[in-house]
C-alpha cells in the first residue's frame, strides 16, 4: 500500500503523510475508510511505531484523518472535498503563473523541463 524510500533525505514520516494525502486526493482512500493500525503498518514497513504515530498525528492535525479511541484512524469525510478545492485553487494559481511565464518568453519546452524537474525531485524525495 505504501512505498517508502529509506535512502531519501526526506524523513520517513513526511513520506508517509505525503503518500496518504496523495491517496486521499486520488480517491484511493475514501471518506471514513479505516487506515492500518500503527502496529500493523509499522511491521509492514519495518518502521518504528513512533514514526507511524507521528505521521498519523500530523495527518490528523491537518484534518486529513480522524482517530477514534480504541478503534483506529479513519479518512476524514471532508478531506476529499478540501483536496478538490485545493486542487482548483492550485490550478488557478498555476494558470496565472504560466500566463506570466509565457508573457516573459518561456517556451513550451522550458515549462515542460520545469515540470520534469519537479517530477524528478518528487521521485527523489526532495520536493
Beta bridge partners of 41: none
Give the up-direction half-sphere exposure of residue 31: CA atoms within 13 A in the CB hemisphere. 7
Model pLDDT, residue 97: 93
Q: What are the tens digits of pLDDT across the range 51-76?
A: 999 999 999 998 899 999 999 999 99
- The DSSP result for 7-37, as a single string, is TSSS-HHHHHHHHHHHHHHTTSSPTTPBPPP
Q: What are the tens digits of pLDDT across the range 21-49?
A: 989 888 889 989 999 999 999 999 999 99
Q: What is the 3-state secondary structure (H, E, C) of 77-105?
A: HHHHHHHHHHHHHHHHHHHHHHHHHHHCC
Nearest to 13 by CA among 57, 61, 65: 57
Question: pTM for this one?
Answer: 0.66
Beta bridge partners of 65: 75
What lies within 8 Å, CB to CB, of 69 at 6+ separation is: none
Amino acid at each position: 500500500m505504501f512505498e517508502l524510500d529509506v535512502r531519501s533525505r526526506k524523513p520517513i514520516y513526511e513520506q508517509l503523510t505525503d503518500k496518504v494525502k496523495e491517496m486521499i486526493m486520488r480517491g484511493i482512500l475514501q471518506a471514513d475508510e479505516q487506515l492500518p493500525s500503527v502496529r500493523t503498518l509499522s511491521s509492514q514497513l519495518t518502521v518504528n511505531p513512533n514514526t507511524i504515530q507521528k505521521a498519523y498525528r500530523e495527518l490528523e492535525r491537518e484534518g486529513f484523518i480522524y482517530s477514534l479511541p480504541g478503534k483506529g484512524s479513519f479518512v476524514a469525510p471532508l478531506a476529499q472535498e478540501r483536496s478538490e478545492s485545493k486542487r482548483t485553487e492550485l490550478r488557478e494559481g498555476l494558470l496565472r503563473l504560466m500566463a506570466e511565464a509565457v508573457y516573459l518568453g518561456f517556451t513550451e519546452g522550458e515549462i515542460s523541463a520545469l515540470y520534469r524537474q519537479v517530477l524528478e525531485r518528487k521521485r527523489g524525495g526532495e520536493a
